[in-house]
Structure 1
């Protein structure tokens, strides 16, 4: 089935944003930060440590997701490191699609975060186009840092090269076809003007995003709490039995065998890691990894 003229133009516009916003604007900032911390920044390119060009990570269910950027500790070209930041992007022309896209990003990233929760990683999204406030709030409320470039800013940026992209669902196919041809024929000078225009309109968003990333990954441990728990396990089938037995427990003279270690790690930026370990070896291994 042939693509509609509007869909074809939208895809081409999305690819251009990917090249400019991700590759020309955000990636240099991420690379600069990663180099100062001796981290490894992975993006969609060939890397011996993985197959193909895609940056693919599994979630806690074993599902694989392709991402735009991942920052790793101890990563190299030849070796995957421990991931501490995940970043995904999306372009949407109409708000009616924004909620679904937000849910798609959330559904891909959060299960990965849950798998690597002991690293308390940073996660963010770069959104270009029309996204509703509820869609943006949904991501922010789930812990995402956001770079958002609204479609009105996109239109303003294109005006810098005398290119009107203020199209909507009523725009004729002929106009989309002509726009696609114009988009495909942009020269280096026009692309550079467009890059500078998008850099200006997105500067505040990108700066805020990088500050959040830096604050997350530059944090330091402010407190470590280790609680070895001993006791007798009681199991019940109903609330009444539990209440009855609770009245017989003598908390002044505790008895029982070792159950587990409860660990709380507090960071300078108010992040907290809570974990449970069944023995000293696993706990010690976890604490050593926090030093890296």
Structure 2
């Protein structure tokens, strides 16, 4: 009956027998027969059929809602059973930068967990140096980090993307009207950085000596806090995007940051220890790179 319930859920989700059948890798007639068999077993009509359309009966609506929770519980029971048999849950520990705000990681995790439901994902974030320490100390399996130091042969250095640097600034600030801005033009405005207290000195040194900001620095603990500071016009925040950001917000604008008449670029990598091939690390990295490429391709098509 579990398989029949999955077929029923697919038909309701896609609102179409043909698409549901394709998703379940069976024929349209077969999925229709399976749902009819489910209705016979239950002794109730779940779907009210009208020519090529259908709607849920009241019993069907109730069964659909409850079956979603049932299947979720069933999958968790299966995963826990496997975990007990193998002496513990397989886990992929992923760490990323505190200031990362893209959707690529979220999409990659969704696809990865759908394919490998028995592997749990543990997520942490941190500054550049904290991520390096997580990897060095064995606290993370894979980190998504910017390149600030020479690449090491001790790690797989898997390039994900090249991003472009912008400044996020309140729309009511006059600088938001500029087509681009330089670090020198920002010298009288505080730079907002996201960092733990222990890493503030490192982050300030990097952004002053490498990026070239000469303004004062103020710090936030999280991306949400930093963006509230921006909206409050307390300063600007450097942000990076692979694709050109949409300028449809009413509170902030994204202004390209230039140096020597060119927009500043930064490389991002996935790093993991050489020889560590557990829990499909390389496959996860390839999936993440694919999401960055898709985002970049989508931007070029616009």
TM-score (norm 1): 0.26
* Structure ranking higher on relative contact order (CA contacts 8 Å, 6+ apart): 2
TM-score (norm 2): 0.25
